[in-house]
Amino acid sequence: MDYKDLCMKVIDIAKDTGAFMRKEQENLSESKVEEKSINSLVSYVDKSAEKMIVDRLSTFLPEAGYIAEEGTSNKKGDKYNWIIDPLDGTTNYIHGLPTYAVSIALKENDKIVLGVVYEVGMDECFYACSENKAYLNGKEIFVKKNNNLKDSLIATGFPYYDFSRNKAFYNTLITLTQKTRGMRRLGTAATDLAYVACGRFDAFYEYGLSPWDVAAGAFIVEQAGGKVSDYSRKDKWLFGEEIIATSSAIFKDFSKIVVDEFSIEDNHDILL
């Protein structure tokens, strides 16, 4: 498998999909928006974009299956599976905000080997592939080398449908606003992770996520020298619905805050 060549092809797909979404955003109305579940919105743009991606990817790797948000294809690959979020940040998109992204990753057996996040509004493409570095628009990127939590800028995502761990989440916000330079919430996990990879954010954490939200971005973070884990500091972040992604320098200090708070609440729930 020539991962680098394949990655370049995926970048073209992501950019073409982004151009389609950018054009459609100008004429999108609320009447064309559906609610899949509480606070989870979808439009014809999400569905059309995913079909565009799947159709083109199938010409490169016909044996591959798909784990895709809108369920355009239910095909399962024995070895290769694409993990796709055609429009990460749908709520931003629907409200006319510029921060939304295309996220495409390739899983070979149990390992992510390629990731592309195209942040449409900024026209920035973050990408990496196995046995290679991480890049932003052709320039190599690295996670932040800052060693101090107090000098860090942190990203997160607010719970929007799973409120079962709210107390732990808001406790982390209180602690982190006091111990860091501040918190940011962009509304797209793929972009948050890409920004960790290039050093704009020092860390990102969120729960209630799906594989397509994190697969590409987390892989890019790792290729840029960062660390990714679940809330137990283990590697079940892809399907575990929770993620911590940081520079290697602050992983220990940052993850301790998240792990401690969520452990308290999770254990409390078990006791109840």
Note the pLDDT tens digit of each residue in 156-194.
Answer: 998 877 788 889 999 999 999 999 999 999 999 999 999
The domain boundary residue, chosen from 99, 117, 140: 140
Q: Strand 80-88 relative to strand 65-68: parallel, antiparallel, unpaired? A: parallel
The encoded tokens of residue 46 equal 């999400």
The closest alpha carbon to 205, from 150, 269, 259, belongs to 259
Q: Is the pLDDT of residue 265 over 90?
A: no
Contact 86, 116 (CB under 8 A): no
Name the residue range of residue 108's domain.
3-140
Phi and psi, residue 70, nearest 5°: -90, 5
The total number of structural domains in the chain stands at 2
* Same domain flag for 69 and 177: no
In terms of pTM, does the model score above 0.85?
A: yes
How distant is the alpha carbon of residue 102 from its chain centre? 10
pLDDT digits (tens, 9 = 90+) for 4-62: 999 999 999 999 999 999 988 877 666 556 665 543 445 678 889 999 999 999 999 99
Kindly tell me if the per-residue pLDDT of 258 is higher than 80: yes
Q: What are the CB-based long-range contacts (under 8 Å, 24+) for 246-249? A: 246/143, 246/196, 246/202, 246/203, 246/204, 247/143, 247/144, 247/145, 247/146, 247/196, 247/199, 247/202, 247/203, 248/143, 249/144, 249/145, 249/146, 249/147
Do 93 and 163 share a domain, yes or no? no
